[in-house]
Structure 1
Amino acid sequence: MRHAFLTDAQIDARALAHRRGLGFRDDEAVEVAVLLARLKARYPEFSYERVLDGALGEAEAQWDSQARRLLLPEAVFQAAERGEGRALMTVAHEIGHALLGHEGSLNRGPAGGRAERVSAKLRSMEYQARRYAAAFLIPDTPAVRRLDATALSERYRVSMSAAIVRHSELKSGESARALSSRQGSLDL
């Protein structure tokens, strides 16, 4: 499968459609156990495995498209279960790779790693997964756009830094949303 270029508006639209398709209300935080159960129910080929801490090296999680499996170190899984923002973002990032159809063995680790610096395709997939994770956890809706970063962090249980970035994306994306709504529905 050829890697597709997606605009920010397309990524946001897909994340919102997936979020709603998995039964999450726009005004509720995503709980990782519920998310993983709903993914498995909706996509029977999807699986996840909790692995020992350190089993993935520096990676915080990994999506393997060939095995259709998400690997989560125990510490990341437990932190996501407790609602810790970074861990929840990590899980959503890897699920973004899965639901956006990215191929390969993809890791969530420190941004700007060697592979990202060398490969434009990998850099694009990692950007899309980061954008998708934020859009999946904090949906782009009129009511959400009215919230400030503190309210986003509290309501959606993400870190303050993630809420600030997403707040900025939502505020700067007005023209992209208007354009995409005029162009009609997106292929989700």
Structure 2
Amino acid sequence: MNHRRDHEDEDIERVARDARRALGIEFTLKPDMITAVFKAKYLGFLKGYVRIPDADMPDDLAAFDPETGILSLQESTFTAANEVLGNPPGRKRARFTIAHEFGHVFLGHKKTRHRNISGRKIEKIAAPIVRDERDADRFAAAFLAPSYLVENPLLVSDRDMADKFDISQTASSIRLDVLQRIYRRTHGIPRPIPESIYEFLTDAAKRGAKVTSLEAENKRRIAEAKARGKGK
């Protein structure tokens, strides 16, 4: 049985930055992902890549085979990622898909994993697959929106992130939550409690109850307000 420890946030950040550095795009805001594929092949991280007609790869956007070292890309994924003059539908997903497959490469996953459309049942219930796919998604987010290129994540919005790094609004929102969590941990700012619970505790305090967790939350809010003021 595999008891591998899940990667910590900092592990993923480090591997993603090392990958960017190796590919020569450490400080590039919006790297061209097809060029990144070429570089990965040239540097030996990939043995090669193939473009597969959509009809022959109907359920999968891409796949990496660690035994052969071959990256397979659905033709529409390649085409969308390769479009640099405009912002066609599917481009952001295509960029994330390739970064996701890089996650399998640079995290050293041993089995072929597919970034798919259909949501096959086995990929929802098999623990090793779920874990590897989750980690590859985390890598992709860290690769496309590096923490070291965001000075203070408490001062930016998910829209800012999406525009800055050419990622989707959904990916940006998830990524910003991670960056804020890392920032709070690094600066000793406790995790916030949900607003609904804060309001409940505030109401209880007004009725005379001594709520120590509210006191701690108020101190946290003061500390975070100071952090948000940095760089202004």
Q: TM-score, normalised by structure 1?
A: 0.84
Query: 1:4/1:101 Cα in 2 relative to 1: closer, same or farther (>3 Å)?
Result: farther
Contact 1:61 1:94 in 2 (8 A): yes
2:163 is equivalent to residue 154 of structure 1: yes
Partner SS state of residue 110, structure 2: coil
Structure 2 residue 130 is matched with structure 1 residue 123: yes
State, as a whole percentage, how many aligned pairs show the same letter: 26
Deviates more, 1:77-86 or 1:67-76: 77-86
Which 10-residue stretch deviates more, 41-50 or 16-25?
41-50
- Is residue 167 of structure 1 aligned with residue 176 of structure 2? yes
> Does the 8 Å contact 1:9/1:176 carry over to 2?
no
Q: Which residue of 2 aligns with 1:38?
A: 39
SS of the residue 2:113 aligns to: strand
Aligned to 2:12: 11
Give the deviation of 1:172 after TM superposition: 1.4
Q: Which residue of 1 is the match for residue 27 of structure 2?
A: 26
Partner of 2:53 in structure 1?
Answer: 52
Show structure 1 runs of 5+ residues with no match.
180-188
Alignment partner of 1:104 is 2:105: no
CA offsets, 1:31-67, max 9 Å, x none?
A: 0222012111211653111111132231111111111
Contact in 2 for aligned 1:134/1:162 (Cα 8 Å):
yes
Q: Aligned Cα RMSD in Å?
A: 2.4
Unaligned runs of 5+ in 2: 85-90, 189-232
CA distance in 1: counterparts of 2:54 and 2:108, whole angstroms: 26
Letter in 2 for 1:134: A
**Higher Rg of the two aligned structures:** 2
Rounded to whole Å, the distance in 1 between the matches of 2:69 and 2:76 is 21
Ranges of 4+ aligned residues in structure 1 off by more than 4 Å:
1-4, 175-179
Distance of 2:119 and 2:4 partners within structure 1: 19
| 1:80 partnered with 2:97 | no
Contact 1:149 1:167 in 2 (8 A): yes
Tell me, in whole angstroms, the C-alpha distance in 2 between the residues paired with 1:127 and 1:176.
22
SS in 1 for 2:27: coil
Number of the residue aligned with 1:185: none
Q: Specify the alignment match of 1:132 in structure 2.
A: 139
The one-letter code matched in structure 2 to 1:115 is I
CA contact (8 A) 2:152 2:183 kept: no
Query: Could you report, residue by residue, the CA deviation over 1:114-136 in whole angstroms, capped at 9, with x for unpaired residues?
Result: 12333111111000000000100
